[in-house]
Structure 1
């Protein structure tokens, strides 16, 4: 992992600003209104850093912790400014401001501890309940320092005079507070450095160690009163150096990738294959992608796009030749698909017509086969030299009516037929029977649909009975009744010398059963045809 230009620049600017803080602290020493200049400078520097954190860090949990750490560091500096400048001379106020130092100090150590725990921790995996115990301890220790005037366990004053920190001695609560503070920071650094060693490769994995070493060395020097001085004036107070090292340590975690952040944009932009540049407000190139020639050539096949951005603009080149080529390919593919779709549609139409023709042919062949005996009878009647021609022609008309109606029932191609279709077929057949001198009548009761083969069988029975007795038949009345699953045909005939041998019951394994009952009294005859749907015996 290599440091980007932006990271190097930020590190250099931050280090230069901190050195400038130490130099100005020495230069402005003793100048009016500048006694707390270093705290003010570090507050501004921390604020500028946290503003970049707000934009860069992508993990909401870590970003929130970093923001609060920065806010507490600024609060620490502000409390110092208030104590040493704004309320200078107000001993009681200065003492409580001094006590208040320990609130941000403890809070920063707690936030760093939880920051270390949340690094690389999945969002859906919460912290264990025991990890919140340091918050309770930290709050109790901070409250103990704030209430020192009640028990003097943190600080006590041998002179008996409550001061703002001059002439005091540290009590057991202070050492307990310092121990908790150090333990939290040591744990935080240890957890982060341990995770860094496991996940980060290369020389940059040692980057977070450098601020820790600097802070440790300066702390030892500061406690031994041997910190760097110029003309007897210390360069940085302990609080400012601690704040600088804290920011440097957190920034190092961002740079090495332990804290997810938006970075290395220039590398990503350079690796982009799209011809593009980023210009400053003066039009100078700041960044450009690989193999980009600027200014872009302008032609009919090239279009230069521009878009304003903060501090300048972005320009990129669009190769219209590729776009036009793709559009042409798309048009060709569309035309091919349309032609293929038209071909498939025509092929399907031809197949459908062919299937319809084949179906009609099979149907006509079936009808021809079924009605061929009737056609042969008509031909025999018309060709026979014997008998009355008018009588023969009337019989042929009856057969023709049957052929017509039987064909219609077959052409309906339906699984079920309405009882009205049977009534209409019987009515037409009886009408032609009148040409043979037969008095006929037909009536219908009820409504419903029945299997087509059942309706056709009923019509064939009626036709067979009529044809068998046509020569001696004088009267014929047909009644059709639909009752549930039963289709009942009642025929009343008057004929001489009529014999019908179909008195009985049949079930041919089809979807219905048939039953014929004949009652005869001299010339009067009643035939009852019962057709039951479902093939049940009746």
Structure 2
């Protein structure tokens, strides 16, 4: 085990050395591209294929900014800042495209002049985006600038329109009145030109101030690094404006120098951590001590690993891909698929295993006691269950015993006359159906009333509807009205309402021809029944909460059942 750990530590150190070298590769490629472009610039100034090397120089810069923009989309965590930086890369590409078109593609004076005007698209918007990015530094990944920043875009857009329409007013650039061709070789400056320059400088200086302020809030020896490229850019603009002769000879034109400084400035912000990126895994894992995290490729080759991590074999990682694997020492290996590979980490469960072993011993000791208690509980539970079943059976039977007895009598009569009196048989079956419908619904209400539950009025409405549906077998006309404002009532009151209704219709079920039901809340909950039958229903008026009225002309008997304390809820 010691030999294996020693070998792993050596491989671990080599891995970290390799990972620390990886960030140097992109910077080396950038430096190589800049040196190659600068060399082409020096060669192109002579007589040896000047146009070819000028094209190659432009292609190098355009390819460099395109590759940088693609890498920005992959690296930047904060969505808003990423969008701004991609916008900067697009503007830098357009800047070099306009420059190449001006010097190498177009020869018409008007086209060349408008390519020159278009230089101010990136010159105005890149400093503005730099300001927006500087305002976003140090903010959370999901942070978004306030909507009021659109005013910055509006100012930049207005100034760009002034530049593009310069031929109409000459407020930005002025040209001699006797000039045959207007060009950037012979021009002056109008009042709006200074507004354009002032806006660029204002945005750049404001971006610098924001960066300096954010740098004060950061720690580290490189915290002022992002300021350097932007400060050099401002210095270049100042020297270019005063017409320093050696400036362009040594550093090239504004487009090449400024675009490169902007890119380096933003890269410095990313390198210092002001702009959050996902490209510093090596530093993250190199500073992680006491953790157990690793990043591997799809073949479980370690790409990133925390310091002092215990070695994990590839076989164990592959097994952990399906389910966590516990190895010697109480470590559980977990894996999780990520883009391009797996995240692997271990969890120390040795303490849990010890607790588990102790718990198993206690469980065995308590198992016998629990078995006795369970046996006693089962007996007591069974006894209580039987008692409860008997109680509910008695309760249900007492509520519907009258109907059960009548069904028994009707059944006996049915068996006696089933083959002799067909009409009477149909009548008997219809009466049995009415009684069964009541028994079904009454048993449900009995259980709800026993549990002291609220009953929805819709439940009572369905009970009435089912009963009326069976009454149609006896050719009984019926109507039902339930107040829509009623919602719920107690189970006791619901059972009382259904019992009264059933008692009324059973009073003369064979001669019943019509029944009308109305359930409403009129100064209390009331059930109104209009019944047409031969029996005298006035006997129900003996009850204290029943009102009776006879309609002699229509043959209807009107009963109102008032539920005491039964206001609907």
TM-score by length of 2: 0.53
Q: Distance in 2 between matches of 1:323 and 1:186?
A: 56
How far residue 95 of structure 1 moved from its aligned partner, in angstroms, is 0.9
The aligned counterpart of 2:307 is 290
Q: How has the CA–CA distance of structure 1 residues 274 and 411 changed in structure 2, closer, same or farther, with 3 Å as cutoff?
A: closer
Whether the 8 Å CA contact 1:46–1:74 is kept in 2: the answer is yes
Give a deviation string over 1:144-189, Cα, whole Å, max 9, x none: 1111111122122214223331211121121221112211221122
The number of equivalent residue pairs is 380
The correspondence of residues 355-434 of structure 1 with structure 2, limited to 5 A, is 417=398
Residue 19 of structure 1, aligned match among 12, 35, 39: 35
Query: Is the aligned partner of 1:112 residue 2:130?
Result: yes
How far residue 305 of structure 1 moved from its aligned partner, in angstroms, is 9.9
Whether the 8 Å CA contact 1:7–1:255 is kept in 2: the answer is no
Q: Distance in 1 between matches of 2:229 and 2:78?
A: 23
Higher helix share: 2
How far residue 345 of structure 1 moved from its aligned partner, in angstroms, is 6.2
**What is the root-mean-square deviation in Å for CA atoms of aligned residues?**
5.3
Whether the 8 Å CA contact 1:215–1:242 is kept in 2: the answer is yes
The aligned counterpart of 2:70 is 51
How far residue 315 of structure 1 moved from its aligned partner, in angstroms, is 11
How far residue 49 of structure 1 moved from its aligned partner, in angstroms, is 1.4
How far residue 80 of structure 1 moved from its aligned partner, in angstroms, is 0.5
Give a deviation string over 1:386-411, Cα, whole Å, max 9, x none: xxxxxxxxxxxxxxxxxxxxxxx999
The aligned counterpart of 2:187 is 168
The aligned counterpart of 2:479 is none
How far residue 350 of structure 1 moved from its aligned partner, in angstroms, is 1.1
Query: Is the aligned partner of 1:350 residue 2:369?
Result: no
The aligned counterpart of 1:261 is 277
Query: Is the aligned partner of 1:100 residue 2:118?
Result: yes
Whether the 8 Å CA contact 2:211–2:227 is kept in 1: the answer is no
Q: Distance in 2 between matches of 1:176 and 1:211?
A: 24
The aligned counterpart of 1:457 is none
Whether the 8 Å CA contact 1:221–1:227 is kept in 2: the answer is no
Whether the 8 Å CA contact 1:25–1:37 is kept in 2: the answer is no
How far residue 329 of structure 1 moved from its aligned partner, in angstroms, is 9.0
Q: Distance in 2 between matches of 1:244 and 1:215?
A: 9
How far residue 279 of structure 1 moved from its aligned partner, in angstroms, is 7.9
Q: Distance in 2 between matches of 1:60 and 1:306?
A: 25
The aligned counterpart of 1:141 is 159
* Structure 2 SS opposite 1:195: helix
* Structure 2 SS opposite 1:205: coil
The aligned counterpart of 1:202 is 220
How far residue 334 of structure 1 moved from its aligned partner, in angstroms, is 8.5
Q: Distance in 2 between matches of 1:49 and 1:25?
A: 22
The aligned counterpart of 1:154 is 172
Q: Distance in 2 between matches of 1:174 and 1:146?
A: 12
The correspondence of residues 133-532 of structure 1 with structure 2, limited to 5 A, is 133-158=151-176, 159-198=178-217, 200-222=218-240, 223-227=242-246, 233-270=249-286, 271=288, 273-274=291-292, 289-291=306-308, 344=370, 347-353=373-379, 417=398
Q: Distance in 1 between matches of 2:221 and 2:301?
A: 35
Whether the 8 Å CA contact 2:294–2:343 is kept in 1: the answer is yes
Q: Distance in 1 between matches of 2:315 and 2:353?
A: 21
How far residue 93 of structure 1 moved from its aligned partner, in angstroms, is 0.9
TM-score by length of 1: 0.56
Q: Distance in 1 between matches of 2:208 and 2:181?
A: 37
* Structure 1 SS opposite 2:54: coil
Q: Distance in 2 between matches of 1:193 and 1:262?
A: 24
Residue 67 of structure 1, aligned match among 81, 86, 92: 86
How far residue 267 of structure 1 moved from its aligned partner, in angstroms, is 3.2
The correspondence of residues 30-49 of structure 1 with structure 2, limited to 5 A, is 30=46, 31-32=48-49, 33-49=52-68
Q: Distance in 2 between matches of 1:120 and 1:305?
A: 32
Q: Distance in 1 between matches of 2:102 and 2:392?
A: 110
Q: How has the CA–CA distance of structure 1 residues 71 and 350 changed in structure 2, closer, same or farther, with 3 Å as cutoff?
A: same
How far residue 212 of structure 1 moved from its aligned partner, in angstroms, is 2.4
How far residue 83 of structure 1 moved from its aligned partner, in angstroms, is 0.8
Q: How has the CA–CA distance of structure 1 residues 209 and 107 changed in structure 2, closer, same or farther, with 3 Å as cutoff?
A: closer
Q: How has the CA–CA distance of structure 1 residues 346 and 44 changed in structure 2, closer, same or farther, with 3 Å as cutoff?
A: same
* Structure 2 SS opposite 1:206: coil
* Structure 2 SS opposite 1:34: helix
Gaps of 5+ in 1: 363-408, 425-445, 452-482, 485-531, 533-538
